[in-house]
Chains A and B, each alone.
Chain A
Amino acid sequence: MSAADTTTPTKVPPPRQAPPGPPAAASSAPGPKRSGGAAVPWALLAPCLLVLAVVLGYPLVRLVTLSFQKFGQSQLWGFQPAESVGFDNFAKVLGDGEFWTVVVRTVVFAAACVVFTMVIGMLIALLLQRVSGWVKTLINIALVASWGMPIIVATTVFKWLFDSDYGIFNALLSKLPGVDMIGHNWFASGPEGLAVITLLVVWGAVPFVVITLSAGLTQVPKELEEAARLDGAGAWGVYRYVTLPILKPIVVMLTTLSVIWDMGVFPQVFVMRNGHPEAEFQLLTTYSYDRAFVVNDYAQGSAIALLTVLLLLGVIGVYMRQMLKIGEVE
Chain B
Amino acid sequence: MSTATARGRRGSRLGWNLLGLLVFVTAGFPVYWMLNTAFKPAEDAIDPDPSLLPTSVTLSNFSRALDIADFWGPVGRSLVVSLTVVVIGIVVGMLAALAISRFAFRGRKVVIVGILAVQMVPLVAMIIPVFLLLNDLGQYDRLTGLVITYLTFILPFTVWTLRGFIVNIPRELEEAAMVDGCSRTTAFLRVVFPLLAPGMVATSVYAFIQAWNEYLYALMLMSQQNQTATVWLGNFTTKHGTEYAPMMAGSTMMAVPIVVLFLLVQRKMAAGLTAGAVKG
Tell me the B residues contacting A by CB distance below 8 Å.
12-13, 16-17, 19-21, 23-24, 27-28, 30-31, 33-34, 37, 45-50, 52, 88, 92-93, 95-96, 98-100, 103, 105-108, 110-130, 132-133, 135, 148-149, 151-153, 155-157, 159-161, 164, 167, 178, 183-185, 206, 209-210, 212-216, 220, 230, 233-234, 237, 242, 244, 247-248, 251, 254-255, 258-259, 261-263, 266, 269-274, 276-280
Q: How far does the alpha carbon of A211 sit from the alpha carbon of B19 in the complex, in Å?
A: 18
Cβ contacts A112-148/B at 8 Å (1 or 0 each): 0000000000001001101110011011011111111
Q: What residues on A are CB-neighbors of B108 within 8 Å? A: 41
The answer to whether A309 touches B119 (Cβ under 8 A) is no
Binds B, one of A149-157, A187-195, A223-231: A149-157
- Enumerate chain A interface residues (CB-CB to B < 8 A): 1-6, 8-14, 16-17, 20, 22, 31-34, 37-38, 40-42, 44-45, 47-49, 51-52, 54-56, 58-60, 62-63, 66, 76, 124, 127-128, 130-132, 135-136, 138-139, 141-154, 156-161, 163, 165-166, 168, 171, 182, 203, 206-207, 211-212, 215-216, 219, 249-250, 253, 260, 263-264, 266-267, 270-271, 274-275, 285, 288-289, 292-293, 298, 301-302, 305-306, 308-309, 312, 316, 319-320, 323-329
Residues of B contacting A41 with CB < 8 Å? 99-100, 103, 105, 108
Q: A48 CA to B28 CA in the complex, in Å?
A: 40
Give the docked Cα–Cα distance between A130 and B12 (Å): 9
Cα distance A328–B100 when bound, in Å?
11
Are B277 and A326 closer than 8 Å at their CB atoms? yes
Question: What A residues does B110 contact at CB under 8 A?
Answer: 16-17, 20
Q: Is the CB of B119 within 8 A of A161?
A: no
Q: Are the CB atoms of A308 and B220 closer together than 8 Å?
A: no
Chain B residues with CB under 8 A of A325: 280
A138, B32: Cα distance in complex, Å? 13
Separation in Å of the B161 CB from the closest CB of chain A?
6
Q: Is the CB of A131 within 8 A of B20?
A: yes
Known: A32-B185, A320-B117. A12 touches B132 (CB 8 A): no
Q: How many A-B residue contacts, CB cutoff 8 Å?
A: 377
Chain B at the A interface: SS class: helix
B153 proximity list for chain A (CB < 8 A): 5, 10-11
Query: Does A62 contact B129, Cβ atoms closer than 8 Å?
Result: yes
